[in-house]
Structure 1
Amino acid sequence: MTPSDTWPAGYFIGQRDTLPDAETIDAFRRLPVPNIGDCMGRSCGALGLQAWHNDPQHVLCGPALTVKVRPGDNLMIHKAIEMAQPGDVLVIDGGGDLTQALIGGLMRTSAIAKKIAGFVIDGAIRDVNEWAEGGVALWARGNTLRGPSKEGPGQINVTIQCAGLVVNPGDLIVADADGVISIPQSQLAALLPRVREHEQREARIRETNRSGTADPERFNAVLRAKGCPL
Protein backbone atom coordinates (compact mmCIF):
# COMPACT_ATOMS: atom_id res chain seq x y z
CA MET A 1 0.00 0.00 0.00
CA THR A 2 1.21 3.48 -0.86
CA PRO A 3 0.15 6.88 0.52
CA SER A 4 -2.04 7.43 -2.55
CA ASP A 5 -4.12 4.25 -2.28
CA THR A 6 -6.72 4.63 0.45
CA TRP A 7 -5.29 7.19 2.88
CA PRO A 8 -6.65 10.72 3.24
CA ALA A 9 -4.54 13.36 1.55
CA GLY A 10 -1.33 14.02 3.43
CA TYR A 11 -1.66 11.09 5.85
CA PHE A 12 0.06 7.70 5.74
CA ILE A 13 1.35 5.15 8.25
CA GLY A 14 3.55 2.50 6.67
CA GLN A 15 5.66 -0.39 7.91
CA ARG A 16 9.32 -1.26 7.43
CA ASP A 17 9.80 -4.40 5.37
CA THR A 18 13.33 -5.23 6.58
CA LEU A 19 15.81 -3.98 9.17
CA PRO A 20 19.59 -4.27 9.53
CA ASP A 21 20.63 -7.18 11.74
CA ALA A 22 22.09 -6.64 15.19
CA GLU A 23 25.60 -7.74 14.16
CA THR A 24 25.72 -5.18 11.35
CA ILE A 25 24.46 -2.42 13.61
CA ASP A 26 27.09 -3.22 16.22
CA ALA A 27 29.84 -3.27 13.58
CA PHE A 28 28.97 0.17 12.22
CA ARG A 29 28.64 1.56 15.73
CA ARG A 30 32.41 1.03 16.12
CA LEU A 31 33.33 3.02 12.99
CA PRO A 32 33.88 6.80 12.78
CA VAL A 33 31.20 8.61 10.80
CA PRO A 34 33.80 10.56 8.71
CA ASN A 35 35.31 7.26 7.56
CA ILE A 36 31.88 6.02 6.53
CA GLY A 37 31.33 9.25 4.63
CA ASP A 38 34.69 8.97 2.88
CA CYS A 39 33.71 5.53 1.61
CA MET A 40 30.37 6.84 0.37
CA GLY A 41 31.91 9.48 -1.89
CA ARG A 42 32.58 12.28 0.63
CA SER A 43 29.36 14.07 -0.33
CA CYS A 44 26.96 12.30 2.04
CA GLY A 45 25.98 13.52 5.49
CA ALA A 46 23.50 15.76 7.21
CA LEU A 47 24.02 19.52 7.05
CA GLY A 48 23.15 22.07 9.71
CA LEU A 49 22.35 19.73 12.60
CA GLN A 50 23.85 19.81 16.09
CA ALA A 51 23.82 17.42 19.03
CA TRP A 52 21.68 18.38 22.04
CA HIS A 53 22.30 15.43 24.38
CA ASN A 54 25.52 16.89 25.83
CA ASP A 55 27.74 13.84 25.35
CA PRO A 56 30.33 14.27 22.58
CA GLN A 57 31.45 10.66 22.97
CA HIS A 58 27.99 9.24 22.29
CA VAL A 59 27.56 7.18 19.12
CA LEU A 60 24.07 6.71 17.72
CA CYS A 61 23.53 3.71 15.46
CA GLY A 62 20.19 2.18 14.58
CA PRO A 63 17.51 1.66 11.91
CA ALA A 64 15.54 4.64 10.71
CA LEU A 65 11.87 5.06 11.45
CA THR A 66 11.06 7.96 9.13
CA VAL A 67 8.51 10.71 9.74
CA LYS A 68 7.44 13.56 7.47
CA VAL A 69 5.47 16.32 9.17
CA ARG A 70 4.01 19.69 8.37
CA PRO A 71 6.44 22.29 9.75
CA GLY A 72 5.57 23.01 13.36
CA ASP A 73 3.22 20.01 13.79
CA ASN A 74 4.11 16.83 15.69
CA LEU A 75 0.97 14.66 15.52
CA MET A 76 2.72 11.94 13.52
CA ILE A 77 5.82 12.07 15.70
CA HIS A 78 3.69 11.04 18.67
CA LYS A 79 2.37 8.12 16.60
CA ALA A 80 5.88 7.17 15.51
CA ILE A 81 7.08 7.07 19.12
CA GLU A 82 4.20 4.72 19.88
CA MET A 83 5.24 2.47 16.97
CA ALA A 84 8.99 2.54 17.65
CA GLN A 85 10.97 -0.54 18.66
CA PRO A 86 13.97 -0.50 21.04
CA GLY A 87 17.03 0.83 19.25
CA ASP A 88 15.13 2.72 16.55
CA VAL A 89 16.21 6.15 15.35
CA LEU A 90 13.35 8.53 14.49
CA VAL A 91 14.39 10.60 11.49
CA ILE A 92 12.06 13.55 11.03
CA ASP A 93 11.63 15.81 8.03
CA GLY A 94 10.31 19.03 9.52
CA GLY A 95 11.25 21.14 6.53
CA GLY A 96 14.04 22.88 8.47
CA ASP A 97 11.45 25.08 10.18
CA LEU A 98 12.59 26.73 13.43
CA THR A 99 9.45 28.67 14.33
CA GLN A 100 7.88 25.88 16.43
CA ALA A 101 9.48 22.97 18.27
CA LEU A 102 8.63 19.46 17.09
CA ILE A 103 9.63 17.58 20.26
CA GLY A 104 10.25 18.44 23.90
CA GLY A 105 10.90 17.05 27.32
CA LEU A 106 7.68 15.09 27.70
CA MET A 107 8.34 13.24 24.46
CA ARG A 108 11.87 12.58 25.66
CA THR A 109 10.39 10.77 28.66
CA SER A 110 8.28 8.59 26.35
CA ALA A 111 11.28 7.88 24.12
CA ILE A 112 13.38 6.72 27.05
CA ALA A 113 10.58 4.40 28.19
CA LYS A 114 10.37 2.93 24.68
CA LYS A 115 14.19 2.57 24.54
CA ILE A 116 14.39 4.64 21.37
CA ALA A 117 18.04 5.18 20.49
CA GLY A 118 17.68 8.73 19.24
CA PHE A 119 16.18 11.41 17.06
CA VAL A 120 17.49 13.18 13.96
CA ILE A 121 15.32 16.22 13.24
CA ASP A 122 15.38 18.77 10.46
CA GLY A 123 13.53 21.22 12.67
CA ALA A 124 13.45 22.68 16.15
CA ILE A 125 13.25 21.23 19.66
CA ARG A 126 12.57 22.67 23.10
CA ASP A 127 13.32 21.82 26.76
CA VAL A 128 17.01 21.75 25.94
CA ASN A 129 18.05 21.28 29.59
CA GLU A 130 16.17 18.00 29.72
CA TRP A 131 17.72 16.71 26.51
CA ALA A 132 21.14 17.60 27.87
CA GLU A 133 20.60 15.07 30.64
CA GLY A 134 21.04 12.27 28.11
CA GLY A 135 19.15 9.01 28.05
CA VAL A 136 18.33 9.42 24.36
CA ALA A 137 20.46 10.97 21.63
CA LEU A 138 19.24 13.99 19.71
CA TRP A 139 20.49 15.85 16.66
CA ALA A 140 18.36 18.79 15.50
CA ARG A 141 18.63 22.03 13.55
CA GLY A 142 17.78 24.43 16.39
CA ASN A 143 15.54 25.23 19.34
CA THR A 144 12.65 27.47 20.28
CA LEU A 145 10.32 27.67 23.26
CA ARG A 146 7.30 27.86 20.92
CA GLY A 147 5.36 24.60 21.00
CA PRO A 148 3.87 22.60 18.11
CA SER A 149 0.36 21.97 16.86
CA LYS A 150 -1.04 18.43 16.79
CA GLU A 151 -3.27 18.50 13.74
CA GLY A 152 -1.30 16.82 10.95
CA PRO A 153 -0.95 15.98 8.20
CA GLY A 154 2.05 13.69 8.27
CA GLN A 155 3.47 10.40 7.05
CA ILE A 156 5.38 7.56 8.72
CA ASN A 157 7.78 5.13 7.06
CA VAL A 158 8.09 6.88 3.72
CA THR A 159 11.19 8.15 1.93
CA ILE A 160 12.10 11.55 3.33
CA GLN A 161 14.70 14.28 2.99
CA CYS A 162 16.30 15.34 6.27
CA ALA A 163 19.01 18.01 6.40
CA GLY A 164 20.49 16.95 3.08
CA LEU A 165 20.02 13.22 3.63
CA VAL A 166 17.67 11.00 1.65
CA VAL A 167 16.43 8.42 4.16
CA ASN A 168 14.33 5.34 3.54
CA PRO A 169 12.58 3.37 6.28
CA GLY A 170 15.04 0.89 7.77
CA ASP A 171 18.18 2.63 6.51
CA LEU A 172 21.00 2.58 9.05
CA ILE A 173 21.60 5.89 10.81
CA VAL A 174 25.04 6.47 12.33
CA ALA A 175 25.92 9.67 14.20
CA ASP A 176 28.79 10.83 16.36
CA ALA A 177 30.51 14.09 17.28
CA ASP A 178 31.23 14.77 13.59
CA GLY A 179 27.63 14.47 12.39
CA VAL A 180 24.94 12.20 11.00
CA ILE A 181 24.94 9.86 8.02
CA SER A 182 22.37 7.47 6.54
CA ILE A 183 23.34 4.19 4.88
CA PRO A 184 20.89 2.40 2.57
CA GLN A 185 20.33 -1.21 3.60
CA SER A 186 21.37 -2.39 0.15
CA GLN A 187 24.87 -0.93 0.66
CA LEU A 188 25.63 -2.19 4.16
CA ALA A 189 27.27 -5.52 3.31
CA ALA A 190 29.61 -4.07 0.67
CA LEU A 191 30.37 -0.90 2.62
CA LEU A 192 31.43 -2.47 5.92
CA PRO A 193 34.74 -4.05 4.76
CA ARG A 194 35.61 -0.89 2.81
CA VAL A 195 35.19 1.30 5.88
CA ARG A 196 37.26 -1.09 7.99
CA GLU A 197 40.03 -1.05 5.38
CA HIS A 198 39.83 2.75 5.23
CA GLU A 199 40.20 2.96 8.99
CA GLN A 200 43.29 0.74 8.89
CA ARG A 201 44.81 2.84 6.08
CA GLU A 202 44.24 6.02 8.10
CA ALA A 203 45.90 4.41 11.11
CA ARG A 204 49.01 3.72 9.01
CA ILE A 205 49.07 7.29 7.67
CA ARG A 206 48.60 8.68 11.17
CA GLU A 207 51.58 6.70 12.39
CA THR A 208 53.86 7.91 9.56
CA ASN A 209 52.71 11.49 10.25
CA ARG A 210 53.49 11.04 13.92
CA SER A 211 56.96 9.58 13.26
CA GLY A 212 57.85 12.05 10.51
CA THR A 213 58.24 9.32 7.90
CA ALA A 214 55.30 10.22 5.66
CA ASP A 215 55.98 9.62 1.94
CA PRO A 216 56.06 12.99 0.09
CA GLU A 217 55.04 11.20 -3.08
CA ARG A 218 51.52 10.87 -1.65
CA PHE A 219 50.80 14.42 -2.80
CA ASN A 220 53.76 15.20 -5.08
CA ALA A 221 52.55 12.59 -7.54
CA VAL A 222 49.15 14.25 -7.66
CA LEU A 223 50.71 17.67 -8.27
CA ARG A 224 52.94 16.35 -11.07
CA ALA A 225 49.96 14.67 -12.72
CA LYS A 226 48.27 18.07 -12.81
CA GLY A 227 51.29 19.64 -14.47
CA CYS A 228 52.53 21.49 -11.39
CA PRO A 229 56.34 21.85 -11.43
CA LEU A 230 58.02 20.76 -8.19
Structure 2
Amino acid sequence: MVATTDICDANSSFLTTGELKVLLPLFRCYGRRQAFNGPVVTVKVFEDNVLVRAMLESKAHQGKVLVVDGGGSMRCALLGGNLGQIAQDNGWAGVVVYGCIRDVDEINACDIGVWAIGPSPVKSNKKGLGEKHVSVHFAGALIHDGDWLWADNDGILISKHQLSAPS
Protein backbone atom coordinates (compact mmCIF):
# COMPACT_ATOMS: atom_id res chain seq x y z
CA MET A 1 0.00 0.00 0.00
CA VAL A 2 1.19 3.50 -0.86
CA ALA A 3 1.47 5.84 2.13
CA THR A 4 -0.84 8.86 2.28
CA THR A 5 2.21 11.10 2.67
CA ASP A 6 3.68 9.75 -0.58
CA ILE A 7 0.36 10.26 -2.39
CA CYS A 8 0.24 13.86 -1.15
CA ASP A 9 3.86 14.52 -2.16
CA ALA A 10 3.42 13.02 -5.64
CA ASN A 11 0.08 14.72 -6.25
CA SER A 12 0.52 18.10 -4.56
CA SER A 13 -1.08 19.96 -7.48
CA PHE A 14 -4.28 17.98 -6.85
CA LEU A 15 -4.24 19.19 -3.23
CA THR A 16 -4.15 22.75 -4.55
CA THR A 17 -7.02 22.23 -6.99
CA GLY A 18 -9.11 20.23 -4.51
CA GLU A 19 -9.07 17.06 -6.60
CA LEU A 20 -7.29 15.40 -3.67
CA LYS A 21 -8.83 16.12 -0.26
CA VAL A 22 -7.59 15.43 3.25
CA LEU A 23 -10.25 14.66 5.84
CA LEU A 24 -9.95 16.63 9.06
CA PRO A 25 -8.19 14.54 11.74
CA LEU A 26 -11.33 13.62 13.69
CA PHE A 27 -10.95 9.84 13.53
CA ARG A 28 -9.35 7.03 15.52
CA CYS A 29 -8.03 3.84 13.96
CA TYR A 30 -9.40 0.40 14.91
CA GLY A 31 -8.97 -3.09 13.52
CA ARG A 32 -5.81 -4.95 12.55
CA ARG A 33 -5.33 -3.07 9.27
CA GLN A 34 -3.97 0.33 10.08
CA ALA A 35 -3.68 1.16 6.38
CA PHE A 36 -6.13 0.48 3.57
CA ASN A 37 -7.42 1.94 0.33
CA GLY A 38 -10.03 1.35 -2.31
CA PRO A 39 -13.04 2.71 -4.14
CA VAL A 40 -15.72 4.25 -1.94
CA VAL A 41 -19.26 3.01 -1.35
CA THR A 42 -21.35 5.51 0.62
CA VAL A 43 -24.17 5.19 3.14
CA LYS A 44 -25.90 8.07 4.93
CA VAL A 45 -27.73 7.13 8.13
CA PHE A 46 -28.52 8.62 11.51
CA GLU A 47 -28.41 6.40 14.59
CA ASP A 48 -29.64 3.45 12.48
CA ASN A 49 -27.30 0.77 11.11
CA VAL A 50 -29.65 -1.43 9.03
CA LEU A 51 -28.22 -0.08 5.74
CA VAL A 52 -24.67 -0.41 7.08
CA ARG A 53 -25.28 -4.12 7.70
CA ALA A 54 -26.94 -4.57 4.29
CA MET A 55 -23.96 -3.03 2.51
CA LEU A 56 -21.37 -5.02 4.48
CA GLU A 57 -23.25 -8.27 3.81
CA SER A 58 -22.84 -7.75 0.06
CA LYS A 59 -20.04 -9.78 -1.49
CA ALA A 60 -20.11 -7.47 -4.54
CA HIS A 61 -17.96 -4.86 -2.80
CA GLN A 62 -14.76 -6.82 -2.22
CA GLY A 63 -11.75 -4.49 -1.90
CA LYS A 64 -13.90 -1.41 -1.41
CA VAL A 65 -14.22 1.03 1.48
CA LEU A 66 -17.59 1.67 3.10
CA VAL A 67 -17.93 5.33 4.06
CA VAL A 68 -20.70 5.82 6.60
CA ASP A 69 -22.01 9.34 7.22
CA GLY A 70 -23.61 8.90 10.61
CA GLY A 71 -24.08 12.62 11.11
CA GLY A 72 -21.31 12.63 13.70
CA SER A 73 -23.66 11.26 16.34
CA MET A 74 -21.96 10.18 19.53
CA ARG A 75 -25.13 8.69 21.08
CA CYS A 76 -24.89 5.19 19.62
CA ALA A 77 -22.66 2.90 17.57
CA LEU A 78 -23.20 2.21 13.87
CA LEU A 79 -20.69 -0.66 13.66
CA GLY A 80 -19.91 -3.42 16.13
CA GLY A 81 -17.95 -6.64 16.34
CA ASN A 82 -20.43 -8.72 14.33
CA LEU A 83 -20.43 -6.22 11.47
CA GLY A 84 -16.64 -5.97 11.64
CA GLN A 85 -16.44 -9.74 11.16
CA ILE A 86 -18.95 -9.61 8.28
CA ALA A 87 -16.88 -6.86 6.62
CA GLN A 88 -13.73 -8.97 6.98
CA ASP A 89 -15.44 -12.14 5.71
CA ASN A 90 -16.81 -10.32 2.64
CA GLY A 91 -13.48 -8.77 1.68
CA TRP A 92 -14.07 -5.11 2.40
CA ALA A 93 -10.81 -3.13 2.55
CA GLY A 94 -12.10 -0.90 5.33
CA VAL A 95 -14.84 1.18 6.88
CA VAL A 96 -14.82 4.89 7.76
CA VAL A 97 -17.59 5.91 10.16
CA TYR A 98 -18.49 9.53 10.84
CA GLY A 99 -19.98 8.35 14.10
CA CYS A 100 -19.24 5.71 16.72
CA ILE A 101 -18.45 2.01 16.87
CA ARG A 102 -18.74 -0.53 19.68
CA ASP A 103 -17.22 -3.90 20.57
CA VAL A 104 -13.81 -2.31 20.13
CA ASP A 105 -11.86 -5.40 21.22
CA GLU A 106 -13.77 -7.55 18.71
CA ILE A 107 -13.19 -5.04 15.90
CA ASN A 108 -9.51 -4.82 16.84
CA ALA A 109 -9.29 -8.59 16.34
CA CYS A 110 -10.66 -8.33 12.77
CA ASP A 111 -8.37 -8.15 9.74
CA ILE A 112 -9.98 -4.95 8.50
CA GLY A 113 -9.35 -1.25 8.89
CA VAL A 114 -11.94 0.85 10.69
CA TRP A 115 -11.75 4.58 11.29
CA ALA A 116 -14.40 6.17 13.52
CA ILE A 117 -14.88 9.18 15.79
CA GLY A 118 -14.87 6.99 18.88
CA PRO A 119 -16.64 4.23 20.80
CA SER A 120 -20.12 4.06 22.29
CA PRO A 121 -21.55 1.03 24.10
CA VAL A 122 -25.09 1.84 22.92
CA LYS A 123 -26.52 -0.06 19.94
CA SER A 124 -28.22 1.79 17.11
CA ASN A 125 -31.85 1.86 16.01
CA LYS A 126 -33.08 -0.74 13.52
CA LYS A 127 -35.63 1.12 11.41
CA GLY A 128 -33.87 0.83 8.04
CA LEU A 129 -33.78 4.58 7.47
CA GLY A 130 -31.09 6.19 5.37
CA GLU A 131 -29.66 6.39 1.87
CA LYS A 132 -26.99 4.48 -0.02
CA HIS A 133 -24.77 5.49 -2.95
CA VAL A 134 -25.24 9.23 -2.23
CA SER A 135 -22.74 12.06 -1.83
CA VAL A 136 -21.88 12.78 1.80
CA HIS A 137 -20.16 15.73 3.43
CA PHE A 138 -18.19 15.54 6.67
CA ALA A 139 -14.70 16.21 8.07
CA GLY A 140 -14.24 19.06 5.60
CA ALA A 141 -14.76 17.03 2.43
CA LEU A 142 -17.50 16.13 -0.02
CA ILE A 143 -17.26 12.39 -0.73
CA HIS A 144 -18.98 10.73 -3.67
CA ASP A 145 -19.84 7.09 -4.21
CA GLY A 146 -17.05 5.80 -6.47
CA ASP A 147 -14.32 8.15 -5.18
CA TRP A 148 -11.04 6.62 -3.97
CA LEU A 149 -9.99 6.60 -0.33
CA TRP A 150 -6.61 5.98 1.32
CA ALA A 151 -6.25 5.74 5.11
CA ASP A 152 -3.21 5.22 7.29
CA ASN A 153 -1.80 6.62 10.52
CA ASP A 154 -1.07 9.94 8.80
CA GLY A 155 -4.65 10.58 7.75
CA ILE A 156 -7.44 9.90 5.29
CA LEU A 157 -7.40 11.06 1.65
CA ILE A 158 -10.20 11.25 -0.91
CA SER A 159 -9.84 11.59 -4.69
CA LYS A 160 -12.11 11.19 -7.69
CA HIS A 161 -9.50 8.89 -9.26
CA GLN A 162 -7.07 6.24 -8.14
CA LEU A 163 -3.70 7.91 -7.57
CA SER A 164 -0.24 6.53 -7.13
CA ALA A 165 3.15 7.70 -5.97
CA PRO A 166 6.50 7.05 -7.58
CA SER A 167 8.16 3.88 -6.30
Which bin holds the TM-score, normalised by the shorter protein?
0.7 to 0.9
CA distance, structure 2, for counterparts of residue 162 and residue 37 of structure 1: 20
Query: Which is helix-richer, 1 or 2?
Result: 1
- Is the contact between residue 32 and residue 112 of structure 2 (CA under 8 Å) also seen in structure 1? no
1:128 to 104, 122, 129: 104
Structure 2: gaps (5+ residues) = none
CA distance, structure 2, for counterparts of residue 68 and residue 37 of structure 1: 27
Percent identity between the two aligned chains? 32
Name the SS of the counterpart of 1:76 in structure 2: helix
Query: Is 2:13 the counterpart of 1:37?
Result: no
Per the normalisation by structure 1, the TM-score is 0.64
Alignment-derived partner of residue 217 in structure 1 = none
> Runs of 4 or more off by more than 2 Å in structure 1?
34-38, 40-44, 162-165
- TM-superposed CA distance for 1:41, in Å, is 2.2
CA distance, structure 2, for counterparts of residue 81 and residue 110 of structure 1: 6
Per the normalisation by structure 2, the TM-score is 0.86
Name the SS of the counterpart of 2:22 in structure 1: coil
Query: Is 2:127 the counterpart of 1:151?
Result: yes
One-letter amino acid matched to 2:53: H
Query: Which is strand-richer, 1 or 2?
Result: 2
- Is the contact between residue 84 and residue 110 of structure 2 (CA under 8 Å) also seen in structure 1? no
Structure 1: gaps (5+ residues) = 1-28, 200-230
**Equivalent residues, number:** 159
RMSD between aligned residues: 1.9
CA distance, structure 2, for counterparts of residue 62 and residue 101 of structure 1: 24
Pairing of 1:1-230 with structure 2 (within 5 A): 29-30=1-2, 32-38=3-9, 39=12, 40-41=14-15, 44-47=21-24, 48-53=26-31, 58-70=34-46, 72-83=47-58, 84-185=60-161, 188=162, 192=164, 195-196=165-166
- Is the contact between residue 100 and residue 124 of structure 1 (CA under 8 Å) also seen in structure 2? yes
One-letter amino acid matched to 2:37: C
CA distance, structure 2, for counterparts of residue 165 and residue 184 of structure 1: 12
